[in-house]
């Protein structure tokens, strides 16, 4: 696999993982409302759910590549369209405030990831856009999904660790941050379709 493909895979993964999504927002709001200790079960649920969903994505992509190999070519363009949509959405988005329910449980964090469409699209797009052209091995697909889940976990930990600081900085500079992220994602689309 060429180095630039691997580099773009990591750029895409980091941007996607660190941008606001349901898991990151819930973690941020939980830490600001309950503190780190009381929110810990929820965070562990988010992390565990992330890994399980990414393993499901790897198995799905492996199954499609094994039984319907021509579909992967189409999925690559669907993935590129998703990344482009994500870039536009990020560029135009504004910070939002969301509320957290009274409980910060493991199950709540875990189940959130199963309805978090962002991470399904993230995992499938990363594999079909960057990896499957070079390897369709289930073990390689699982490896890259574990990398994605680890980057996602680091991103969520960052949101937790930075707490209110990120929220204030993001709300103050969201436009510049969003445009930079959107332009970087657009470059990822270009490299995916070359």
Q: Structural domain boundaries of the chain?
A: 3-193
Q: Rounded to two decimals, what is the model's pTM?
A: 0.72
Each residue's pLDDT tens digit, 83-142 = 677 677 767 766 555 544 455 789 888 887 877 778 888 898 899 889 988 988 999 999
pLDDT tens figures, 159-174: 888 765 766 676 677 7
Report the pLDDT value the prediction gives residue 58, as an integer from 0 to 100.
Answer: 94
Does residue 157 contact residue 39 with C-beta atoms inside 8 Å? no
């Amino acid at each position: 696999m060429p180095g630039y493909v691997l580099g773009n895979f990591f750029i895409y993964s980091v941007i996607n993982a660190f941008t606001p999504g349901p898991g990151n927002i819930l973690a941020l709001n939980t830490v600001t409302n309950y503190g780190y200790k009381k929110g810990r079960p929820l965070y562990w649920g988010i992390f565990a759910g992330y890994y399980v969903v990414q393993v499901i994505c790897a198995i799905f992509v492996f199954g499609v590549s094994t039984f319907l190999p021509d579909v992967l070519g189409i999925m690559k363009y669907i993935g590129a369209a998703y990344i482009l949509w994500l870039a536009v959405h990020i560029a135009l988005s504004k910070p939002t405030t969301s509320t957290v329910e009274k409980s910060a449980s493991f199950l709540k964090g875990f189940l959130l990831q199963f309805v978090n469409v962002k991470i399904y699209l993230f995992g499938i797009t990363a594999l079909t856009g960057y990896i499957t052209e070079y390897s369709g091995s289930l073990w390689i697909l699982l490896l890259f999904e574990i990398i994605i889940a680890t980057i996602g976990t680091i991103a969520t930990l960052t949101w937790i660790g930075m707490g209110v600081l990120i929220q204030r900085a993001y709300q103050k500079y969201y436009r510049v941050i969003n445009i930079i992220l959107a332009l970087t994602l657009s470059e990822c689309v270009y490299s995916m379709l070359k």
